[in-house]
């Protein structure tokens, strides 16, 4: 009788162990788990390091077409940013869906890096060889070592969220430093649904390292056709954090519509992390290139006055121009302190309008400038 009791107890223990393992298996996840051919996803993504957008979001659509002999996914992707559309083939790793190889176009490379450093970030901690539990408190890994300890990435809770037009039950994976950084994952979806991660910093306001959200999800047997590029004129001021987020730079210009052969006044305003104008004298280099890569302005060690600098420039060709401002130092009292901080801005030079349209546009622009544009900052007179 005792024998059968022991057998029964043993069976109960074994069955409970197998059940626990099964439950554990259902609650593990890695990027790419359960993915199927034809998956089509669209995300809104912004990253701190993506200088082309200055931290502003772009839209990324990815179609999973087929797999190669190693199981890597051959995808087609296109991004939409400021009216511009850039597309490319892109290979994603079978291990964690990280972009690999050299098949992307040169123009798409900045976007591949931005996708890798945002949507692909979680793949550094969970992959096909090492799925991670999305329940309990088991750590996924360490972000950084601070003060002899580590900042641990781990499951932190659950939440029902609304993305891509539906409700999802999610586990939250994240870590806490100054603020809570979080990634929302659904066990039945092969990619994270949403995320917001802050930089490892203590000085407020804390910059966002990256942020994304799933906007659309579907399935297609054929490669999607990207929309056509629709040129979008930027409006002043453009604002962006510098390389480390220590400063913020604003770029103004007059007139608002930039035309070839006509002088343009550029205004640079230097702010601190809290958006206050930097009163210390800051000096910077400014480089402006036109759509053909020709240098139209290159000034070194420009000294600000009340946190501002003003420049005159004339573009000879229309198209997309680039302005790069590099902070190289500042004076605190009479002491010069080196600074290396960079920010980039995109401008658009348009062909000259017909006379009637030009007159209307000039009137509208003049009214806008007079009424609103420079209330926040008065640019120094030339």
What's the rounded Cα separation, in Å, for the pair 183 and 247? 27
Is the same domain home to 201 and 335? no
Is residue 277 situated within a structural domain?
yes
pLDDT in tens, 226-249: 998 877 788 899 988 888 888 999
Tally of domains in the chain:
2
Is the same domain home to 205 and 323? no
What proportion of the chain, given as a percentage, has pLDDT over 70? 83
pLDDT at 16: 40
Is the same domain home to 60 and 127? yes
pLDDT at 260: 94
Other beta carbons less than 10 A from residue 72's beta carbon: 17
Is the same domain home to 210 and 254? no
Is the same domain home to 156 and 285? no
Residue 316 domain boundaries: 238-373
Q: Residue 307 corresponds to which tokens in the numbers above?
A: 């946190």
Is residue 381 situated within a structural domain?
no
What's the rounded Cα separation, in Å, for the pair 171 and 35? 19
Is residue 18 situated within a structural domain?
no
Contact (Cβ atoms closer than 8 angstroms) between residue 152 and residue 175: yes
Q: Which of 58-67, 158-167, 341-350 has the lowest mean pLDDT?
A: 341-350
Q: Which of 44-58, 113-127, 132-146, 358-372 has the lowest mean pLDDT?
A: 358-372
CA 163 from centre of chain = 18
Is the same domain home to 245 and 176? no
Residue 159 scores a pLDDT above 80: yes
Average pLDDT, the chain: 84
> Which residue, 190, 219, 248, sits at the end of a domain?
219
Nearest to 325 by CA among 237, 208, 222, 230: 237
Q: Region 206-216: what's the mean pLDDT?
A: 94
Is the same domain home to 147 and 258? no
Q: Region 159-170: what's the mean pLDDT?
A: 97
pLDDT at 207: 85
Q: Region 14-29: what's the mean pLDDT?
A: 50
Is the same domain home to 215 and 243? no
> Which residue, 219, 246, 276, sits at the end of a domain?
219
Is the same domain home to 124 and 151? yes
Residue 14 scores a pLDDT above 80: no
DSSP 202: -
Q: How buried is residue 15: exposed, middle or buried, by Cβ count under 10 Å (0-12/13-18/19+)?
A: exposed
Contact (Cβ atoms closer than 8 angstroms) between residue 249 and residue 269: yes
Q: How distant, in Å, are the alpha carbons of 6, 9, 17, 315 from that of 3?
A: 5, 10, 21, 94
Is the same domain home to 201 and 61? yes
Is the same domain home to 157 and 247? no
């Amino acid at each position: 009788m005792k024998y059968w009791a022991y057998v029964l107890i043993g069976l109960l223990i074994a069955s409970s162990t197998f059940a626990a393992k099964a439950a554990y298996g259902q609650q593990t996840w890695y990027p790419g788990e359960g993915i199927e051919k034809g998956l089509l996803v669209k995300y809104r993504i912004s990253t701190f390091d993506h200088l082309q957008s200055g931290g502003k979001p772009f839209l990324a659509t990815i179609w999973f077409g087929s797999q190669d002999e190693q199981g890597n996914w051959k995808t087609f992707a296109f991004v939409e940013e400021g009216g511009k559309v850039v597309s490319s083939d892109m290979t994603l790793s079978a291990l964690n869906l990280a972009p690999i190889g050299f098949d992307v176009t040169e123009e798409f490379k900045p976007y591949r890096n931005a996708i890798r450093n945002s949507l692909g970030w979680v793949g550094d901690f969970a992959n096909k060889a090492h799925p991670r539990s999305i329940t309990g408190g088991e750590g996924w890994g360490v972000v950084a070592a601070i003060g002899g300890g580590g900042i641990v990435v781990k499951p932190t809770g659950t939440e029902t969220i609304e993305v891509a037009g539906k409700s999802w039950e999610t586990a939250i994976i994240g870590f806490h430093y100054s603020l809570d950084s979080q990634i929302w994952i659904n066990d039945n979806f092969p990619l994270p649904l949403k995320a917001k991660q802050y930089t490892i910093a203590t000085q407020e306001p804390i910059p966002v390292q990256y942020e994304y959200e799933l906007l659309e999800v579907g399935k297609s047997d054929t490669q999607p056709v990207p929309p056509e590029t629709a040129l979008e004129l930027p409006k002043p001021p453009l604002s962006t954090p510098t390389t480390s987020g220590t400063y913020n730079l604003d770029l103004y210009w007059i007139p608002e519509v930039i035309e070839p052969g006509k002088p343009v006044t550029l205004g640079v305003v230097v702010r601190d992390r809290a958006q206050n104008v930097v009163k210390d004298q800051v000096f910077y280099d400014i480089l402006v290139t036109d759509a053909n890569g020709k240098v139209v302005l290159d000034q070194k060690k420009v000294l600000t006055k009340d946190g501002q600098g003003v420049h005159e420039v004339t573009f000879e060709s229309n198209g997309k121009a680039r302005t790069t401002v590099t902070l190289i130092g500042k004076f605190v009292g009479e002491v010069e302190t080196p600074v290396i901080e960079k920010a980039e801005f995109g401008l658009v030079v348009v062909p000259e309008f017909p006379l009637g349209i030009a007159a209307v546009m000039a009137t509208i622009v003049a009214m806008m400038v007079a009424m609103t544009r420079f209330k926040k900052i008065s640019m120094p007179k030339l």
